[in-house]
Amino acid sequence: MRCGDLKESYLEDEKIFQTAFVKFWLVLLFVVLISLPVFASPYVMYVANIIGFAVIGAVGLNLLTGNTGQISLGHAAFIGVGGYATAILITRVGVPFWIALFLGGAIAAAVGLVVAIPSVRVKGLYLCIATLAAQFILEWVFVHWETMTRGIRGINVPPPRLGSLVFDTERSFYYITLVMVVLAVGFARNLLRTKWGRAFVAIRDRDLAAEIMGINLFRHKLAAFALSSFYAGIAGGLWVSFMKVVTPEHFPFSRSIEYLAMIIVGGLGSVLGSIFGAIFMTLVPELLNVLSGFARHFVPGLEQLFIPMKEVIFGALIVFFLVFEPHGLAEIWHRIKNSFTLWPFSY
């Protein structure tokens, strides 16, 4: 029986896959994920794609907010920048999707830097406020820069192709999403083991101490912000290619709050938490949707309450987790797992 892990060096402690046991379950998970399109319905595949985009966005935001301790209230706007940049590059410039996706991420990161440079210089809440301003300014730009974004009419985006393969269904696009999610999660998980990742955490825990230890705060905060905007841009690029259209109303302030809710519910500062949070917060509205569709037969007019109900539940989840379980679902998961591994001798 497995009861605990003996580790004899830091190298062992930092391993991503701690035991053969973990590797086994991960392989099983991948087999399930890869074979999912074979037996799942298009609706399930649609939700799976949406969850994938949310995971990428949430992992990015968690690197900034959970690990570096800087709040961004404009994550949705940067997702929008990535989405629009990708769409414009594909339709106007004719760049293939695969390059446009990464260029879109880079453009989102560049726009993020313009916002962040002044506010990251000074301590305090300024980044939070500046990103809030960026959210509203960028939303305005999406609507009013008609020569570029075509305003509220939006831009139609062709599906990605690779040779003769066209990724235009939920099933085929799922594989692009899956690859990108694996890359995004793998990069974040590895980054946190490097010098940079540890510097981020040091800045969050005590900025003065971090600076004394030789961490250049400005550069690291900026890097964290650029990275999170890059993730947002990638999520946006995938989103618009999947939806085949991009319009300004996809990136409202409430979406930024949704992303914050994801990482708070999932667990601040934990990659696993971002994944849990993204899955959870995407499934809750879908479930609510199904439930309200079901309850419509008994209580007419209930479906109009869907949007406000969603807001109330999201807000309540944020408040509840911050007050009662600040480490989120990831911590609950660890507790359950530990009580199983040590069972029946857990204390």
140 counts as binding another protein under rule CB under 8 A = yes
Residues 317-336 that bind another protein (CB under 8 A): 317-319, 322-323, 326
Helices (H), 267-347: 271-295, 306-324, 328-341
261 counts as binding another protein under rule CB under 8 A = yes
| Cα–Cα distance, 56 to 183 (Å, whole number) | 9
207 counts as binding another protein under rule CB under 8 A = yes
CA nearest to 139, candidates 71, 63, 86, 83: 83
| Cα–Cα distance, 22 to 195 (Å, whole number) | 25
Residue from 76, 192, 264, 278 binding another protein (CB under 8 A): 264
| Cα–Cα distance, 331 to 268 (Å, whole number) | 10
Q: What is the contact mask toward another protein in residues 29 to 68, using x (rule: CB under 8 A)?
A: ------------------------------------x---
For the packed helices 253-266 and 271-295, what is the interaxial angle rounded to 10 degrees? 120
Contacts 24+ apart (CB under 8 A), 33-39: 33/178, 34/178, 36/174, 37/171, 37/174, 37/175
Q: State which residue, 26 or 208, has the beta carbon closest to another protein.
A: 208
Residues 95-124 that bind another protein (CB under 8 A): 115, 118-119, 121-124
Please identify, among the stretches 99-107, 183-191, 229-237, 252-260, the one whose residues bind another protein according to the rule CB under 8 A.
252-260
Residue from 146, 153, 249, 346 binding another protein (CB under 8 A): 146
Q: State which residue, 185 or 302, has the beta carbon closest to another protein.
A: 302
Contact 280/266 with Cβ under 8 angstroms?
yes
Q: How far is the CB of 92 from another protein (least distance, A)?
A: 20
69 counts as binding another protein under rule CB under 8 A = yes
The tokens of 285 are what? Answer: 């509205």
Q: State which residue, 65 or 241, has the beta carbon closest to another protein.
A: 65
Peptide bond into 344 cis (omega under 30): yes
> What's 158's DSSP letter?
P
Residue from 109, 188, 217, 271 binding another protein (CB under 8 A): 217
Q: State which residue, 126 or 187, has the beta carbon closest to another protein.
A: 126
Q: Residues with Cβ < 8 Å from 65, sequence gap 6 or more? A: 71, 72, 228, 260, 263, 268
Given the rule CB under 8 A, which residues bind another protein?
65, 69-71, 73, 115, 118-119, 121-126, 128-130, 132-134, 136-137, 140, 143-144, 146, 207-208, 211, 217, 253-254, 257, 260-261, 264, 304-305, 307-319, 322-323, 326
